[in-house]
Amino acid sequence: MNKIVNISGKIIVGVLILGGFPFLAGTAEAEAAEIELAASGEIHSELSAGAAKELAQAVHSGDTCRLASVHYELKDISDENIVAMFTKCAEAGDARASMWLARLYFKGRCSLPTKKNMALKMAAEAITNVIQQAEAGDREAQFLLGCAYHEGFPVERDFKKAVKWYELAVASGHITAMNNLAALAQKAYGTPPDIKRARRLLAQAAAKGSVLAAENAVKIRGERGDDSERLKTLFKSPLVQALGKQRDDAIAMLVKQGIIADPKKFDESVEQSHSEMKVLLFKDDGLLLIVDGVGRINNVDGYVAGHRGPGQCKSEIPFGVTWTDNAEKAREKLGSPDDSGVVLSDLARGMAYNIGNVVYAVMFNLKDQRTLKVWRVYEKWAVDYPDQKTTTP
């Protein structure tokens, strides 16, 4: 680990020697921002070589908004100080910093309260200037414009345009753009599904010090061996065959299979943590489908009667599990789970199994684990599914 020299808890802003490469201090504004952080007691004490280099380059650039953005990704200073840096830039007329603050208020991040109306107003006022700077080649503006199209804030959501602007920002080394572009490649939003590209981007961002990229990389790490046979078995279940299909195609298939009785009888809502996703609950059929941002089914749930409606899922449960199995019996059939624990949204205790790009989970009554309540299959990342979808007669 490389340390940025500090004396009595204060950062020395001047010439930083990182991995043998010297970085001179940036302009007075960026340097003053770091000195102010030092005086407040913030210390960049233990940074990787990649993180320290990224931070030093941001200081050297003289761009305080860029510097605040790097701190946001590295998580090396307090939320309060990150917000203060963006606020100071915004007050000086930096539209990029105003857009950053708008995003933080819209999502309630960096310890800020969620203020969506105020955030939308801020973003609407800043977006024209951000577009102009992005088109002129500013990497921070390119990243922010990618976010705008990715999130539909304050412009209409357009994943292909989001990919375009993220790619330009990534080419200039923007860490958060790497993270976000990886997410789009993982989900096949605006670009073909490409888990290898997503992993490369996350590895690149993690090497630059991104805490979030390192965490996300763990979630989509490679499979342990060949799961092709288990995937074939999993996809023998008619409900699982809906994965990867477009919404209308999936519903039509499930109607044909007798899994859904009435294709128009469902409750539709927005997925809480992902506004681009829709949740379709077929109460009379005991099943739930989640539709992603490009209309694909990426999650299927089967329910026991009475859990979320009167109906019970008619699709066979994968790997021979039955509605009468308790947790112990299911474990005998499935083996030791890759993960287990309480699932608060279903008031159940679950066991989860990683199979290729998906997770198969079975969940039991929280109190005694004697009653199977829900089984679920969801994508960790999107793929173009091969011909293992053998339709059950």
Same structural domain, 155 and 46:
yes
Name which of 154, 172, 171, 152 is nearest 162 in CA terms. 152
Same structural domain, 190 and 252:
no
> Is 355 exposed, middle or buried (CB count within 10 Å of its CB: 0-12, 13-18, 19+)?
buried
Rounded Cα distance, 352 and 47, in Å: 35
Q: Which of 219, 244, 261 is the last residue of a domain?
A: 219
Same structural domain, 258 and 163:
no
Structural domain contains residue 389:
no
Rounded Cα distance, 301 and 308, in Å: 11
Same structural domain, 27 and 153:
yes
Rounded Cα distance, 94 and 91, in Å: 7
Q: What is the pLDDT of residue 30?
A: 53
Which domain, by its residues, includes 74? Answer: 6-219
CB distance 296 to 290 below 8 Å: no
Same structural domain, 261 and 315:
yes
CB distance 364 to 371 below 8 Å: yes
Give the CATH number, domain containing residue 195: 1.25.40.10
Same structural domain, 21 and 71:
yes
Tokens 């109906």 correspond to what residue?
311
Structural domain contains residue 386:
no
Same structural domain, 302 and 171:
no
Same structural domain, 201 and 247:
no
Does a cis peptide bond (omega within 30 degrees of 0) precede residue 154? yes
Which stretches of the chain drop beneath a pLDDT of 70?
1-46, 223-224, 386-393
Q: CB under 8 Å to 351, separation ≥6 — which residues?
A: 327, 330, 331, 334, 337, 339, 340, 361, 362, 363
Q: Which of 219, 246, 268 is the last residue of a domain?
A: 219
Count CB-CB contacts under 10 A for residue 329. Answer: 14
One DSSP character per residue, 48-103 reads: -HHHHHHHHHHHHHT-HHHHHHHHHHHT-S-HHHHHHHHHHHHHTT-HHHHHHHHH
Structural domain contains residue 390:
no
Q: What is the pLDDT of residue 311?
A: 97
Same structural domain, 237 and 208:
no
Structural domain contains residue 343:
yes
> What is the chain's percent helix, strand, coil content, to nearest 5?
45, 15, 40
In this structure, the dihedral spanned by the alpha carbons of residues 252, 253, 256 and 260, taken in order and rounded to 10 degrees, is -70
Q: Which of 192, 219, 246 is the last residue of a domain?
A: 219
**Opening angle at CA 67, ends 110 and 102, nearest 5:** 40
Q: What is the pLDDT of residue 274?
A: 83
Q: What is the pLDDT of residue 387?
A: 54
Q: What is the pLDDT of residue 91?
A: 97
Same structural domain, 182 and 238:
no
Handedness of CA 151, 154, 160, 162 (dihedral sign): negative
Q: What is the pLDDT of residue 33?
A: 52
Same structural domain, 374 and 328:
yes
CA distances, 106 to each of 116, 165, 270, 310 (Å): 5, 21, 17, 38
Structural domain contains residue 385:
no
Structural domain contains residue 104:
yes
How many domains, the chain? 2
Same structural domain, 36 and 138:
yes
Helix axes of 139-151 and 64-74: crossing angle, nearest 10 degrees: 60
Q: What is the pLDDT of residue 37?
A: 45
CB distance 148 to 128 below 8 Å: no
